[in-house]
Structure 1
Amino acid sequence: MRKLFVLFSSALLAFSTANAQDHGLGQPYIPETDKAVLQKLDEWQDWKFGMIIHWGAYSQWGVVESWSICPEDEGWTQRNPYGIPYYDYVKKYEALSTTFNPTKFDPSKWAKAAKGAGMEYVVFTTKHHDGFCMWDTKQTDYSIAGPNSAFRNDPRKNVAKEVFSAFQKEGIHTGAYFSKPDWHSEYYWWSYFPPKDRHVNYDVNKYKDRWNNFRDFTYKQIEELMTTMGKIEILWLDGGWVRARKQDNKKENDITAAEIDTRPSKQNEDIDMAGITKMARSHQPGLIVVDRAVHGPFENYRTPEQQIPDKPLSYPWETCMTMANSWSYVPDDKYKSVNKLIHNLVDIVAKGGNYLLNVGPGPDGQLHEEAYTTMTAIGEWMKVNGDAIYGTRSVAPYKDGKVCFTRKKNGNVYAIYMLEEGEKLPAQVAFNGMKPAKGAKVTVLGAKEKISWKATATGTQLTIPAAVQQKAWQHAVAIQISAVE
């Protein structure tokens, strides 16, 4: 059975990758008013680079996380072998919770690799849509620490706590991914009715007590995370179709974007986000709440998925993207080149965003070796060029050809020249839309020599000394300008 799933995983990951989501980037943004949260958001915008980790019992099969048990006919929900009866498949899928035994789990190795790569924060999947919990929750037995789990007697069984502790020890800020829908819970997918799609499968008005039980269940699980995991700075909520809806008078902001939810619901799947947020911030003051794709006061920043916006956005945002092709573990997954990842980072930061890069540990608890070599290479670049990334904001014209721009709060501006694979730094670098101020000092990060420049009709032309050109530059070169006009 496992071999069949591994063979089918490439098709699933292709479908999953294609399911990129823009999360309503053009919808009105409602600014936060809590001063502590605003301060934390400003700090978060300085971090720039983070890691998201998708990991669960599904990693044993190397299939897309959760979605194969969703009874929708989408590319990323297909089951293998094709045509297997739905309930037979779900039974096998849920049995994975009894065999998931990541004996080589070592979050300190992940954390050290993230630190070495220059990542400033981590978001860990405490629970995905399938409902399997990666911490020692008291609300359900369906968890990595539950009585039927193969890992239940391991001292590391409280996996999320172990992950957060390891990253906090490295000085990395921590955030909890939590799925609002729970396809294992009797309070969401009630076994009395068959599930029809990703939504709750019963009438929440007719069965109000059941829905209230789900609201209480969700509240208590999030409270566990806010009170037992140390300092949590981001609550990253997924499953935007679970949301309050006006049933008879839908407004644009009440409707989940089509890219998120191809089967919009008329049900009011209200879990009381105001109450959850108030509780969470009582335990974690200044907590950033990211109710993904639900445009309103609990969407402190937006999360375009697997894509980079064409231009800067007027509110805080973060591109979440896979380092390889799949969000969760796939054997022999194909990783993006370091050059591509660094170019993505520069492009995102130049447009004012953060870059949240995903890795998927395997069933034994280890990352692909290529994940480590990739992070090491990114870290080598960041050690030289990090000043052009961290603590910066966007500055017009943001990008001109192969040059991206960032600015520091002290007025320094960086023109970051993107190198193609094997390309040498040219003798001249020209860009439009920006000119150094009179007397400005221009240097290349990682080199001592001054760079001469002259104004052109539309911008600036830099002349790069031969000694600087001959250095072994890779990926991108950050040119610091002490002041601009």
Structure 2
Amino acid sequence: MLRGMGLCAGVVFALLGMTAVVAADSTQAVTPPDAATIEQQWVAANRPYDGARKAILAQADKVAWQGPMTPDWQSLTGYSTPEWYRDAKFGIFIHWGVYSVPAFKGEWYPRHMYERTGENSDRYQHQIATYGPMPKVGYKDLIPLFKAEHFDPQAWATLFREAGARYVVPVAEHHDGFAMYDSKLSDWTAVKMGPHRDVIGELAKAIRAQGMKLGLSSHRAEHDWFYEYGRTFNSDVNDPRYAALYGPAHPSESAKGEDGQDVDWTFVSDAYINDWLARSSEIVQDYHPDLMYFDWWVGQPRFRNALAEFAAFYYNQAATREQGVVLNYKLDDMRPGTGTLNIERGQAADIRPQPWQTETSVSPDSWGYAEGDTYKSPDEIVQLLADVVSKNGNLLLNIGPKADGTIPEQARHILLAIGQWLNVNGEAIYGTRPWTHYGEGPTQVAAGTMQDTKTKPYTAEDFRFTTKNGRLYAIEMAWPSTTHALIHSITPSMNVTSVTLLATGKPVAFDQQADGLHLNLPTQPAGVRAYVYRIEMKDHLTLTAREGGAPHS
């Protein structure tokens, strides 16, 4: 049981020297408490974990200053992306938590279910109609419904391996503040509530048993303001008994700076920064992930020093085990060269000099499971994979399991189709490096964050290139309407000796002419519509000199 659960809201407010905010009903607007009041309330709720937090922070600080790295950004430029990650190319992301219970428009439901007006108010209406009125019922009341009764980590790991994944990244904690792991810093965890299982611990064991690397993600930085809408009316977000779940819930504030850019003025306390660092460090200390992923708000200026300390701690503790680790960040949240850039739902326009990653979901709309969701086709995901790998990147593909622990059939179908394609064509993906240029053809991707649905369909004139072991791989992004294909980038001076279509395993007749490599094609192979040609040349040294158009790091 949570400490203090038996105290009424008024008593707790009185103990904290505050005035209780009382509203006649849940529709009555209230003035949010000021930042100091919110902070006192949150600190009091987390006081039972002070001892554990201090111990974790002390150990993290010690390790951060004892190793090849130190907590300053110049020192952290000594980081290099490990070869296992550069070779892996394809991973699975998992958004699964209490938000899968309502299964209504994705993983931001916990935030928007308290938004009574505006474009997201349908979540509030859904919550009231389905689960009952506020403040009597809130997000906390969905936790007992998150039973995960069919959760089978071994079956999940087997599916991910069959999909061709080389690493798997479950969400350890999302913005909602509910930890999916066994934390000493919270009672609001999957071990103590809901499934009553260490979801992350069980998945970690199953994933590694299948020979895949374990990644973990933390989105807790955003938790500082995630439930802010609940402050504006009589909701359970304002009840101090639940402050350890709902967090500070500070109102988010932004304005335009002198340069016209958005500036975030949302309050973040020292206590919250310390708690974020402790929780992030606890995940590393207990599960030793090969990859850590942070969402975008760690770039908020107040997090910068703590982020540098975490990075030094993470890299140094891994070094003691000779473990090559990856720290994913977004946007400009870290200094270039101190971690591995992740582009959310987006791509790069060209080959990036350092390894990078794009993350997207099988759904164009949500990350967590949502009933009635739409799904992408295996074709477009494989084409995305080919484009990203040709530009020195990795693809992290997300799925959202149901609350009972089953994986939606549409997602299973997509994963298995990708796995079948990789089983045949994986030599053009795994362990490859970019060529001198990523590809050719008329289709240009929409580069940047949140652009993954804006790229036009690929054509048979679009090719993406990768290299490995002195061979060049050309991935044709669609099948031509005739029995002929032309690759302009492969000139007569390259002395091609053989071309093999991996889908059939058979040689393809070819002719080198001034305008490129002409291929005489067989009947279109069945399966996912991206077609790999293995191209071998007489002078492998010429090709090898061009391999790794992006430098190894």
Q: Is the pair's TM-score, using the shorter chain for normalization, greater than 0.5?
A: yes
Q: Which residue of 2 aligns with 1:237?
A: 294
Give 1:429's match in structure 2, choosing from 485, 488, 508.
485
Q: Which residue of 1 aligns with 2:147?
A: 101
For the pair 1:319 / 2:358, whether they are aligned, the reply is yes
Q: Which residue of 1 aligns with 2:327?
A: 289
Q: Distance in 2 between matches of 1:31 and 1:432?
A: 44
For the pair 1:459 / 2:507, whether they are aligned, the reply is no
Give 1:399's match in structure 2, choosing from 399, 416, 439.
439
Q: Distance in 1 between matches of 2:90 and 2:294?
A: 19
Maintained 8 Å contact 2:438/2:465: yes
Give 1:38's match in structure 2, choosing from 80, 96, 99.
80
> One-letter code of the match for 1:109?
A
Post-superposition shift, 1:60?
0.2
5 Å-filtered alignment, 1:37-56, equals 37-38=79-80, 40=82, 42-56=83-97
Q: 1:187 to 1:95 in 2, by over 3 A?
A: closer
Give 1:222's match in structure 2, choosing from 276, 280, 283.
280
Q: Distance in 2 between matches of 1:50 and 1:129?
A: 22
> One-letter code of the match for 1:236?
Y
Q: 1:271 to 1:61 in 2, by over 3 A?
A: farther
Q: 1:336 to 1:90 in 2, by over 3 A?
A: farther
> One-letter code of the match for 1:442?
V
Post-superposition shift, 1:409?
3.8
Post-superposition shift, 1:439?
5.0
Q: Distance in 2 between matches of 1:336 and 1:65?
A: 18
Maintained 8 Å contact 2:81/2:340: no
Q: Which runs of 5+ in 2 are unaligned?
A: 1-72, 228-241, 255-262, 442-459, 544-553
Q: Which residue of 2 aligns with 1:381?
A: 421
Q: Which secondary structure state, in structure 1, belongs to the residue aligned with residue 343 of structure 2?
A: coil
1:233-276 Cα deviation digits (max 9, x unpaired): 111011x234453xxxxxxxxxxxxxxxxxxxxxx344611221
Q: 1:92 to 1:190 in 2, by over 3 A?
A: closer
For the pair 1:112 / 2:162, whether they are aligned, the reply is no
Deviates more, 1:434-443 or 1:55-64: 434-443
Maintained 8 Å contact 2:92/2:398: yes
Q: 1:135 to 1:476 in 2, by over 3 A?
A: same
1:347-385 Cα deviation digits (max 9, x unpaired): 222222211111001110111012222212211111110
Q: 1:378 to 1:439 in 2, by over 3 A?
A: closer
Maintained 8 Å contact 2:103/2:371: yes
Q: Distance in 2 between matches of 1:444 and 1:388?
A: 11
Post-superposition shift, 1:115?
0.5
Q: 1:89 to 1:395 in 2, by over 3 A?
A: farther
1:409-434 Cα deviation digits (max 9, x unpaired): 422111112235xx77x422102122
Maintained 8 Å contact 2:81/2:325: no
Maintained 8 Å contact 1:126/1:176: yes
Q: Which runs of 5+ in 1 are unaligned?
A: 1-28, 205-210, 246-267
Q: Which residue of 2 aligns with 1:331?
A: 371
Q: Which residue of 2 aligns with 1:263?
A: none
Q: 1:167 to 1:89 in 2, by over 3 A?
A: farther
Question: What TM-score do the two structures reach when normalised by structure 2?
Answer: 0.67
1:196-223 Cα deviation digits (max 9, x unpaired): 459999755xxxxxx3332332222222
Maintained 8 Å contact 1:242/1:271: no
Q: Distance in 2 between matches of 1:186 and 1:330?
A: 27
Q: Which residue of 1 aligns with 2:216?
A: 176
Relative to its length, the structure with more helix (as a share) is 2
Maintained 8 Å contact 1:441/1:481: yes
Give aligned-pair identity as a percent.
Answer: 27
Q: Distance in 2 between matches of 1:90 and 1:342?
A: 47
> One-letter code of the match for 1:428?
H
Question: What TM-score do the two structures reach when normalised by structure 1?
Answer: 0.75
For the pair 1:65 / 2:117, whether they are aligned, the reply is no
Larger Rg: 2
Maintained 8 Å contact 1:335/1:370: yes
Q: Distance in 1 between matches of 2:472 and 2:74?
A: 30
Q: Distance in 2 between matches of 1:332 and 1:78?
A: 15
> One-letter code of the match for 2:179?
C
Q: Which residue of 2 aligns with 1:360?
A: 400
Q: Distance in 2 between matches of 1:135 and 1:103?
A: 17
Q: Which residue of 2 aligns with 1:309?
A: 348
**Aligned Cα RMSD in Å?**
3.4
